[in-house]
Chains A and B, each alone.
Chain A
């Protein structure tokens, strides 16, 4: 959920977009992240996958399904709203939609993995960490993103990345997921 991507929730003309990942590439990337999560977290049962609405929630759900396949463990998932924790309210013409957060409590002694579709400036991840701290104090917070497009404005990096994609600031990255967008899974790059 990158800052500038929001206003493109309606489909722009596909003609100007360059396909970056198709459904199979997304599936492979999420599968690889699954193995990395299993490798990095000896106590897999303590892990919570917290998706950022909308697509992060769907990606978290898919990762949980893959982990169930591979490790035969049902890990918990949740939703972490960032809209009310952002630092740019009142400076933007449009307000982000707020969603109810839902996390398994208590968070103490758990590893919380924030899941988002695109990692860009890092401000969303910061807002997510702020939101999480109002629920409690997890033992560890990690970050997973399907695409890391660079241009960080904060000292934040992802623990799990599906694809590193060097971009220009003015370009737009758009992730489409079947269950959310009623479009085939894909990642698109739009040049301005």
Chain B
């Protein structure tokens, strides 16, 4: 049985069909199983070279891609902004062309500019995997969130997923919105109106700024990190006010249905968007997300990197 997958790149969830997303999730099942073997490594991408090209800092995503590549027997090179010649004035395209000249088969790119992965994917024969581009998309995070929901709840269709926090600057939110709506979930975005503009309703979601009204009906709550590094002061008055109005505190968590999942893409700001008791509580699947992220990235690398160039 052959697959209908024919993409060399994964740039975002917006351009994928529901069938393609479901297919990645099914493939992930197979790769998750590899993690339970005595030898957690398969030769699927043996002889392939993967370049982790992270122009923006990241530990967990880069490590997850690196480990996924190791488990598929690919060779990995890590390049960060500071170690690359971008600091010497080389353009992104020239850096990437040089990597291709070294026969890199897969380029995993994290970049501060939206569209950077698209730009390279059109110009390179290598597979390009978007590991987060500006405030645009972070498709593997979106996929691992979908996978975790599907694994814990058995389905995605008809679930009510509430995404709380800084939606405006969040690529995680966008990938989640595209993926969840394609698979039939109902999505509500919650946060200060400066960070969750009504504009988002055009994507087929509901926007609210009253978290206490939304939480009792949620099947999944996905809390986004307040991105201090991107935040300018004018978006909200202060961290403690944010916590008071939108944080998932211990008290507020009592509004949740018992089977509601609590998710967070990490890194967590304990005591800001989520209380420690909730982050470590029974409803939290935050560490499952990390484990599933590895399997999702194995599936994506296998599918994109395994296509004949």
Contacts and interface: CB of A to CB of B under 8 A. Distances in A.
Interface stretch (A66-74, A94-102, A110-118, A159-167): A94-102
Q: Is the interface of A mostly helix, strand, loop or mixed?
A: loop
B11 to A, nearest CB: 19
Interface string A79-111: 001011111011111111111111000000000
Contact of A9 (B2, B33, B48, B105): B2
By size class, the interface of chain A is: 20 to 34
Contact of A95 (B40, B72, B105, B306): B306
Interface stretch (A19-27, A128-136, A138-146, A168-176): A128-136
Nearest to A93: B308
A170 B27 CA distance: 31
A95 B39 contact: no
Given A84-B42, A90-B308, A96 B1 contact: yes
A38 interface: no
A85 B44 contact: yes
B43 interface: yes
Interface in B42-85: 42-46, 48, 72
Interface range, B side: 20 to 34
A6 B48 contact: no
Contacts of B40: 134
B233 interface: no
A95 B1 contact: no
Interface string A8-24: 01000000000000000
B30 interface: yes
Interface string A41-63: 00000000000011000000000
A143 to B, nearest CB: 20
Contacts of A87: 43, 46
Contacts of A136: 38
A54 B2 CA distance: 11
A101 B259 CA distance: 30
A130 B43 contact: yes
Interface of B: 1-3, 5, 27, 29-34, 37-46, 48, 72, 105, 299, 302-303, 305-309
